[in-house]
Amino acid sequence: MLGSPMKIRTTHVGSLPALVDLDEKAPDYAQKLAGAVDAVVKKQRQIGIDVVNEGEYTKGGDWLSFVESRFSGFEARPAPAGEKPLLAQGKDREDFAAFYQYASERGTLFYTPGGQIKQTRPIWVCNGPIAYTGQAELQREIALMKEAAAGTEAFLTSTAPASLEVYRRNEHYGSEEAYLYALADALAVEYRAVADSGLILQVDDAWLPALWDRIGIGMGIDAFRSRCMRRVEALNHALKGIPEERVRYHLCWGSWHGPHAYDLELKEIVDIMLNVKAQAYLIEGANARHDHEWQVWETVKLPKNKILMPGVITHATDVIEHPQLVAQRIGRYAGAVGKHNVVAGADCGFGGRSHPQIAWAKLQALSDGAALASKALF
């Protein structure tokens, strides 16, 4: 997974717009899924993306709900009457209430054809020992990905314990720590299977920093950082025994189309992120709230043999980035951490966040911009 000595390589975060309609209940679903995975890998290759995946098609396009059928020890319950979904809470929502009402009424917080991103979710309650039961689904996912991407470096996504914990309440384990590590032990089964298959494991963890807006501000920065570090330790427990070069870690701030005025600054959490036992780190770096944070890497040293995969294109606007802008963004990171330590990426997934035409055009801009940066840097 190291950067190339010849050029700036490209990748993305995982979720991609569906190229065909997929209905899991349809009798021809398995056949259509295999064809869709093959098609989305071919499209990425045609565009010039170096490190590809299956667009999260095998997960129904959702980074959280795919695990609902892969764990035992939980039951789904309706949210208590009057309780706001977590996504509808936070200081951003309070200070920009008129905007959020406007955007919610029009459905513009996400671009969601077919409901790819669920804005309300069931509450899952742990009422027994947690165990991983999704081996058959996972092996199908791995097989489809390996067949479609033969000869190309490829990754599969999963979710961090801290981000699953948010929608899953504990009534079984005697402490928060015991519950968190039970989640980690279950996820470890999936993590190891992906890494052992020869694919790269990507762990998504948007809720780690995004909770700052919901609970962190009231806790204070020191207490919140301590909370985050305990959850990174649980993630590292799940990753135990997996070589770091098989792992990439994605951190973002939720990626809905809103102000994000209270996102935790990268400088407050970058050291915690670098404690994750991964070789590569994917961060937001192209949207208006985080574009300036490349400067963090002028003072924070990227550890040896690590890779930074910053977003140089974003889902946050429908404007297609000019390839020269993409090249400039890549150049900033290359200047800060070294050109061999940069793989160009995206802020977040595009499936459910961008119109398909926009998403694919942005990925083409990523590829074209990386080519310009390669000429300049190599």
Predicted pLDDT at 117: 60
Residue with tokens 């310009």: 372
For residue range 76-97, list pLDDT tens digits in order: 998 788 888 787 889 999 999 9
Predicted pLDDT at 82: 80
Averaged over successive runs of 10 residues, the pLDDT of the chain (378 residues) comes to 84 94 87 95 98 95 91 91 82 96 89 60 92 97 97 97 95 98 98 98 97 96 98 98 98 93 98 98 98 98 97 97 98 98 97 94 98 97
Instruction: Give, in order, the Cα–Cα distances in Å from 172 to each of 89, 169, 178, 179.
Output: 27, 9, 10, 8
Predicted pLDDT at 363: 98
Predicted pLDDT at 120: 65
All structural domains of the chain: 9-66+135-165+174-377 (3.20.20.210)
Alpha-carbon distance of 15 to 255, in angstroms, equals: 12
User: For the chain, percent helix, then strand, then coil, each to nearest 5?
Assistant: 45, 15, 40
Torsion, CA 118, CA 197, CA 53, CA 311, rounded to 10: 80
Predicted pLDDT at 128: 98
DSSP 157-187: EEE-HHHHHTTEEESSSSSHHHHHHHHHHHH
